Structure 1
Amino acid sequence: MQIDWSTIRTGHADRLHGATIDISGWMIPLDPQADAVDYFLLSADEPCCGGCVPRNPLTSIEVQMAALLAPQAEALALRGRLVCLLDDPAGWRYRLVDAVSLERPRASQRRFSRRAFLASGAALGLTACAPGHFAGYTEAHDETAQSTASAPSASSTQSETAPRWQAPAGTFTVDMHSHGGRVIVSRDPAIGAHRPFIPLAAPMRAGGMNVICLAIVTDTTVTRVADNRKRFEAWREPQPGELHALGQTEFLRAHQLIEREQIRVVTNTTSLTALGPQGPCAIISAEGADFLEGQVDRVDEAYTKHQLRHLQLTHYRVNELGDIQTEPPVHGGLTDIGAQVIQRCNALGIVVDVAHGTYDLVKRAADTSTKPLVLSHSALATHPGARSRLITPDHARVIAGTGGVIGVWPSSGTFHDLHAMANGVKRMADVVGVEHVGLGTDMLGFISPPVFRSYEQLPDLASALLQAGFSQQEVGAVLGGNYLRVFQASVG
């Protein structure tokens, strides 16, 4: 069945879930250096230059090929089985699976240069053309730069005039909250734990992101997207043992991704300070302690067996540990079990993360913990609405009062671009002090595409922070130094 992009844009393709379709479009791979790929985006429109890729999930679809396909520098036609994605963490609406290439259409198709084509695959969702890179990271970026060096663009002009962050000696960058590489299992039971990974180390190197807190999610099977794809909610109670088993699967996927991408795991301050400056490293993290199922001794299991060093207590399900921002309170904040989990994390050496928790949960957590807390991904709002993930100044001050860090996230519902995000970081710093602010990208964790979609954008974010009034040293603190302090105090 031949379909056109109007069927995708209007959502009428929902009715074709599971059908075999033919569709034509422009190939946008995620790895510009690959000779052949089996995963890429298919776009309705030809990229105008290297960094221009679709921002609207209804103008592109994910493609999983049945076999490797060499990069195509002109429009191509594909045949495959269409899958409607109800709750994809990256925000995509449709996927073409088991796809095969058909004869490429010849009628009046525009062409673009091989150089622009290669650059277009540098990263998913760049909001501008390929950015510059930090001083100190030029070697890692040189291979890509060689193929794009003579391809000037609008952003290259901007990068020549905008201030650039010069990383101070001993400084390295840390993302406090990331699902990079597609570590989370799919909510589609037909895919589940077999969801294919996407490149992670390459965009980290290209953008100068040294360390990520790689977060599994352990309430996936009992949560879903609701309110017309606007938020996540729990929709059923888990079976006994279900979420513990899900946690084991997700931890395994995290280590499989790490092995595939040749990323090094850091488990203490010594390994973090030794390996962090060298580039791609991961701190094993869990978003939501649902896999504990209320059993505190499972904290020890995750620490020893899976190298867990960063634990977020709650997520989108009101669990045994406490209440969440996006649902009515049940426990009155942190439960006694939640307090015991915090105490166990303090004793073992695990960073405690209170993102998604209510203000009452955070206040008791601060009174319970003997170590600094982090709130890995949120933003400041004076009066957050009901079910909002944003926090008040008082909420933020509780975290700062423990010596902790709040990670500002790049939600497009809060910030319209990276400069607005940088100003949001500035507002947070004005409230709690720059030493208590960090970066939590929630990479691949949004329903709608955020304003920071790839680690290749990190130089642009650093530049925006400088333009917002931060000093070179302060940018270093926000982009990693502050979290390093908390990790040292918490993990040892």
Structure 2
Amino acid sequence: MRVHWRDLGSSRANRADGKSVELAGFPLTAMSLPTADHFLMMAEPGCCAGCVPANRLAVVEVFADQPLKIGNGQLRLTGTWRVSSDADGWRYQLHGAEVKRGVTRRALMAASPLFCLSAVPAMAQVDGTAVDAHSHAGNLTQMAYGRGSFAPVAEPMRQGGVSAICLAVVSDSPIIKTMDGRLRPGRDPRPGELYDYTQRSFQQIHALAGAQQLPLLRTAADLNGARASRPSIIVSSEGADFLEGRIERLDEAYQRWGLRHLQLTHYRPNELGDIQTEPSVHGGLTQFGVEVVRRCNQLGIVVDVAHGTYELVKKAASVTTKPLVLSHTSLTTRPAAWTRRILPDHARAIAATGGVIGIWPVLEFFPNIVAYADGFARMVDVVGINHVGLGTDQLGLPGGSAMPSYADLPQLAAALRGKFSPEETAKLLGGNYRRVFTASLPS
């Protein structure tokens, strides 16, 4: 029986208890060990022990009778599946684990949930201008807490042909917890807490940029000149919670930290408006949210409405003078409570401003890279080729990613080339975001 990461938390994973299973994933050890007989397995690569998801349903604990060679890539293991009742431990375990024998790298890729089982596209050349509209690459979130060390960002970007990423701090991180199967605000923040935390996070972006020689992009001309040969960062914030109702802090972030991309809300209904994953308390965008949108337009900061409700998006669209971005989501046609996906009208409201919707590679919705490309195509069918982009949410997807590394971008490009022309593919992978960035910032 083959277990997929999308099965975790489902009845299928529970029914597999005691059965012999196969699982493909990425090992994580407390230290960089060449071999281990006890380690954790995740759907996407981790960069340090601090990067283990808090969700106990998103990790598999592996026990082997003999040390297994870990390596730096994906493992395909066989063993006995166990479902643990330990409330403080990992829910799922693999006992008597062994590496699946006689599997070539290509066969492993084809069998992995990251790739199509019937047709793996050939690698495609990427022109080096791709832009990711939303990322947490580099272990940035954990570093803001003083845990771990920076993971490689620049080199995978060069390998994949990614010129720039919107690297996001998470402004409400200290108070967000996993409850009721989703991320939710666990408590009210203390005065100044989210501001102080976000300042430390901005410092870490600058430290990462310096350590890996990643220029910070501040103008439209900077982005127009950016190429993967010298990858760059657009300083971003996921949530404007650090403002704490004070508009002058937006100017401070723009000047001091080079903030050029601001997502209004995250997992906390904040001073700016409502979110998709909690009950509405403001009826959409607040008056302070309106002021922030207008000030972003004046300063030259891209306005990102990801996580915001449809009512918030409609209000933001009515007051903005610049294109909006919804950096990471995907299309659905079935309304559902607390989903982060969006309906066609929600998408059209973004496109009507001239904006861009970033498609994210959530394994639950896109179990392989070809399915991920299909997600782009479905959104293009609704809003058109000029309004869809790349939003990987790298290291921000607790359930795993269909494109866990920027080095995998040529695989996505190849899958997109099966549906779009080279010029259209270039728009989807970065050209559309470049246009919005240029329209939002002074030249």
TM-score if structure 2 supplies the norm length?
A: 0.78
- Return the alpha-carbon distance in structure 1 between the equivalents of residues 295 and 276 of structure 2: 24
Instruction: State the shift of 1:161 in Å.
Output: 8.3
Write the deviation string for residues 160-219 of structure 1: whole angstroms up to 9, x where unpaired: 983554446xx6100000000011137xxxx92333221111211122211100000010
Matched, 1:195 2:141: no
SS in 1 for 2:381: helix
Aligned to 1:255: 206
Specify the code of the residue in structure 2 equivalent to 1:345: C
- Return the alpha-carbon distance in structure 1 between the equivalents of residues 183 and 28 of structure 2: 29
- Return the alpha-carbon distance in structure 1 between the equivalents of residues 162 and 233 of structure 2: 11
Specify the code of the residue in structure 2 equivalent to 1:484: R
Judged with a 3 Å threshold, the aligned counterparts in structure 2 of structure 1 residues 324 and 152 are, in CA distance, closer, same or farther, namely closer
- Matched-pair contact (CA < 8 Å) for 2:240–2:262: yes
Work out which of the residue numbers 179, 182, 186 in structure 1 matches 2:136. 179
SS in 2 for 1:278: coil
Write the deviation string for residues 298-323 of structure 1: whole angstroms up to 9, x where unpaired: 11000000000000000000000000
Aligned to 1:87: 54
Judged with a 3 Å threshold, the aligned counterparts in structure 2 of structure 1 residues 472 and 244 are, in CA distance, closer, same or farther, namely same
Specify the code of the residue in structure 1 equivalent to 2:324: L
Aligned to 2:441: 491
Specify the code of the residue in structure 2 equivalent to 1:177: H
Aligned to 2:254: 303
Aligned to 2:230: 279
SS in 1 for 2:339: coil
- Matched-pair contact (CA < 8 Å) for 1:324–1:356: yes
- Matched-pair contact (CA < 8 Å) for 1:176–1:438: yes
Instruction: State the shift of 1:154 in Å.
Output: 3.7
- Return the alpha-carbon distance in structure 1 between the equivalents of residues 61 and 245 of structure 2: 36
Instruction: State the shift of 1:276 in Å.
Output: 3.1
Specify the code of the residue in structure 1 equivalent to 2:375: G
- Return the alpha-carbon distance in structure 1 between the equivalents of residues 228 and 325 of structure 2: 22
Aligned to 1:220: 173
Judged with a 3 Å threshold, the aligned counterparts in structure 2 of structure 1 residues 84 and 357 are, in CA distance, closer, same or farther, namely closer
- Return the alpha-carbon distance in structure 2 between the equivalents of residues 486 and 88 of structure 1: 35
* Structure 2 alignment gaps of length 5 or more: 1-7, 10-24, 77-103
Write the deviation string for residues 214-235 of structure 1: whole angstroms up to 9, x where unpaired: 00001011111123xx421001
Judged with a 3 Å threshold, the aligned counterparts in structure 2 of structure 1 residues 325 and 42 are, in CA distance, closer, same or farther, namely farther
- Matched-pair contact (CA < 8 Å) for 1:43–1:54: no
- Matched-pair contact (CA < 8 Å) for 2:41–2:59: no
- Report sequence identity in percent: 44
Write the deviation string for residues 357-386 of structure 1: whole angstroms up to 9, x where unpaired: 000000000001000000000000012310
SS in 2 for 1:244: helix
SS in 1 for 2:256: helix
Aligned to 1:101: none
Matched, 1:465 2:407: no
Aligned to 1:399: 350
Judged with a 3 Å threshold, the aligned counterparts in structure 2 of structure 1 residues 434 and 89 are, in CA distance, closer, same or farther, namely farther
Instruction: State the shift of 1:277 in Å.
Output: 4.9
TM-score if structure 1 supplies the norm length?
A: 0.71
The count of aligned residue pairs is: 386
Aligned to 1:23: none
- Return the alpha-carbon distance in structure 1 between the equivalents of residues 141 and 57 of structure 2: 10
Work out which of the residue numbers 277, 299, 306 in structure 2 matches 1:326. 277
Specify the code of the residue in structure 1 equivalent to 2:378: R
- Matched-pair contact (CA < 8 Å) for 1:61–1:94: no
Judged with a 3 Å threshold, the aligned counterparts in structure 2 of structure 1 residues 387 and 91 are, in CA distance, closer, same or farther, namely same
1:244-393 to structure 2, matched below 5 A, reads 244-393=195-344
Instruction: State the shift of 1:437 in Å.
Output: 0.2
Write the deviation string for residues 1-39 of structure 1: whole angstroms up to 9, x where unpaired: xxxxxxxx99xxxxxxxxxxxxxxx99699xxxxxx964
- Return the alpha-carbon distance in structure 1 between the equivalents of residues 276 and 165 of structure 2: 24
Aligned to 1:75: none
Judged with a 3 Å threshold, the aligned counterparts in structure 2 of structure 1 residues 84 and 323 are, in CA distance, closer, same or farther, namely closer
Specify the code of the residue in structure 1 equivalent to 2:243: L
SS in 1 for 2:132: strand
Aligned to 2:363: 412
What is the aligned-residue RMSD (CA, Å)?
Answer: 3.6
Instruction: State the shift of 1:94 in Å.
Output: 7.8
- Return the alpha-carbon distance in structure 2 between the equivalents of residues 41 and 408 of structure 1: 35
Aligned to 1:76: none
Specify the code of the residue in structure 2 equivalent to 1:401: A
- Return the alpha-carbon distance in structure 2 between the equivalents of residues 254 and 90 of structure 1: 30
- Return the alpha-carbon distance in structure 2 between the equivalents of residues 240 and 109 of structure 1: 49
Specify the code of the residue in structure 2 equivalent to 1:288: G
Specify the code of the residue in structure 2 equivalent to 1:87: A
Judged with a 3 Å threshold, the aligned counterparts in structure 2 of structure 1 residues 40 and 472 are, in CA distance, closer, same or farther, namely farther
Matched, 1:233 2:190: no
SS in 2 for 1:412: coil
Instruction: State the shift of 1:418 in Å.
Output: 1.1
SS in 2 for 1:194: coil
1:46-57 to structure 2, matched below 5 A, reads 54-56=41-43
SS in 2 for 1:453: coil
1:97-136 to structure 2, matched below 5 A, reads 120-121=71-72
- Return the alpha-carbon distance in structure 1 between the equivalents of residues 147 and 277 of structure 2: 29
Judged with a 3 Å threshold, the aligned counterparts in structure 2 of structure 1 residues 41 and 269 are, in CA distance, closer, same or farther, namely farther
- Return the alpha-carbon distance in structure 2 between the equivalents of residues 194 and 376 of structure 1: 27
